[in-house]
Amino acid sequence: MADDTEAATPTDTVPGSAPVTPVQGVAAPASLPAPASLADDVVFRPVRSGNAFEDTVARLLQAVRLGIVEPGGALPPERDLAARFSVSRDTVRDAIRSLSDAGYLVARRGRYGGTFVSERLPAEGGGEPETALPTAAEIDDVLGLREILEVGAARAAAGRSLSADDRDGLWQRLTETSESSALDYRRLDSRLHLTIGQLVGTPTLVSLMADNRTRVNELLDHIPLLPINIAHSNRQHEAIVAAILTGNRDRAAQAMSEHLEGSAVLLRGFLA
């Protein structure tokens, strides 16, 4: 099962066999420059007081799991992280050490050293989590908030005057998701959705979406990831992006709503 999906027809193809095709009225960029980082909006902001170590670990782990910092990508230096999180360098160092021990981060020494996200992340999900199944009320809470945040984000993004970098970056995220393997799909899918939120220009919205998306992914870890649903999800992603890039606010909201409803139906079907 892929995130954000509905039932798909047997003729669907699995992503990775071909790149996203251009949609009517939207030209794919000749080159795909990297979009502005989501890190400042989502991760590198002050943590809550009282549980500095735990919150720092959670924030760094969120950056990895949601694809905000890619495998092989570098984290800012410890002193910068401490300043951004408003915690001590010892707290940052302890958080990094714990995530390194768990296999999420790698420390490298030398001229080009620093802390990097592991190229191969620990396996997660797989349809057999050890945690208890969520209740129907918990599912409704997560998915209800998600609809409010993401449908609104799609509508607002479609109403913005986007720069060339914004448009190219959104297209790149769509292409990366469509061409990804099943192993990387959830991470890249998460980043695509967060990129849409970033286009709205309200950093608090992105941080709310990231927190919600983390909870959504925890639900998705309870159910299987099916290639046929990935293919259908990719087609829905294309419809959302096309509506945003052509400035069709109503269509963007409708396409996102349909997209989220598909995944909600599957989650409730498996878990409720």
Residue 111 CA: distances (Å) to CA of 73, 96, 97, 114: 16, 20, 20, 9
Would you list the DSSP string of 65-108? HTTSS-TTPBPPPHHHHHHHHTS-HHHHHHHHHHHHHTTSEEEE
Q: What is the pLDDT of residue 179?
A: 95
Give the start-to-end residue ranges of the domains of the chain. 39-117, 136-271
pTM flag (> 0.85)? no
> What is the pairing mode between strands 114-117 and 105-108?
antiparallel
Fold topology of 136-271: Four Helix Bundle (Hemerythrin (Met), subunit A) (1.20.120)
How many residues are given for the chain?
A: 272
Q: What is the pLDDT of residue 39?
A: 57
Provide the token pair at 270.
């498996």
Residue indicated by tokens 């990297």: 34
Q: Cα-Cα-Cα-Cα dihedral of 95, 96, 100, 102, to 10°?
A: 20
Residue 157 has φ and ψ, to the nearest 5°, of -60, -40
Domains 39-117 and 136-271 belong to one CATH topology: no
39-117 to CATH, choices 2.120.10.70, 1.10.10.10, 3.90.1150.10, 3.40.50.150: 1.10.10.10
Please, what is the average pLDDT of the chain?
82
Q: What is the pLDDT of residue 206?
A: 92
Given a cut of 90, whether residue 7 has pLDDT beyond it is no
Q: What is the pLDDT of residue 40?
A: 60
Residue indicated by tokens 């989502």: 42
Given a cut of 50, whether residue 33 has pLDDT beyond it is no
Given a cut of 60, whether residue 137 has pLDDT beyond it is yes
Angle between helices 78-85 and 52-65 (to 10 degrees): 110
Window from 42-56, 59-73, 172-186 with minimum mean pLDDT: 42-56
